[in-house]
Amino acid sequence: MIRDTSSQDAVLTAAPAQRLKRRALWIGGAVAAVALGALLIPLSRVVPPLYVWRVRSRVYRWYGQLRAVEQGLEQAHGAQRAQVCASLLQRLDDIEERVNQISIPLSFADALYGLRSHINFVRQRVRSAAAESEPVRAR
């Protein structure tokens, strides 16, 4: 009886080729993982400061508006000063209302409370300027 061993030889010779393919895929996957890690490590250092900047920018953008109110107060002179102060107080009320709508994490609440106290500081400056510009009434 004669046996056909050609199919067995094909199986035996195919096994090392499959092992090589598997090894190549495994090595390729490892290289891809290392490359991905090499990209993620620098990103992990950049993302937290970006997050902090983004959250703080929600608060700090209002300081430009606050500075514009102060500049408006400095530029107001004479008889117009009382009218300008009234409009600046209205503008401060609008700024404060919009600032109260800002949503930020609790860890950044100090910046928000600082902004609110600065708004009140500017409001007091405008009120004192308005009181100085009013004519003194005779008793």
**Interatomic CA distance for residues 113 and 106, integer angstroms:** 11
pLDDT at 40 (0 to 100): 83
| Domain residue spans of the chain | 6-133
Question: Which long-range contacts link 55-62 to residues 24+ away (Cβ below 8 Å)?
Answer: 55/104, 55/105, 55/108, 56/108, 56/111, 58/102, 58/104, 59/102, 59/104, 59/108, 59/111, 59/112, 59/115, 60/111, 62/95, 62/98, 62/99, 62/115
pLDDT at 1 (0 to 100): 58
pLDDT at 119 (0 to 100): 96
pLDDT at 139 (0 to 100): 40
- Residue 113 CA to chain centroid, in angstroms? 17
Task: Provide the residue-wise pLDDT of the chain in tens; the chain has 139 residues.
Answer: 566 555 555 555 557 778 878 888 888 888 888 888 888 888 788 888 999 999 999 999 999 999 999 999 999 887 788 899 999 999 999 999 999 999 999 999 999 999 999 999 999 999 998 888 776 444 4
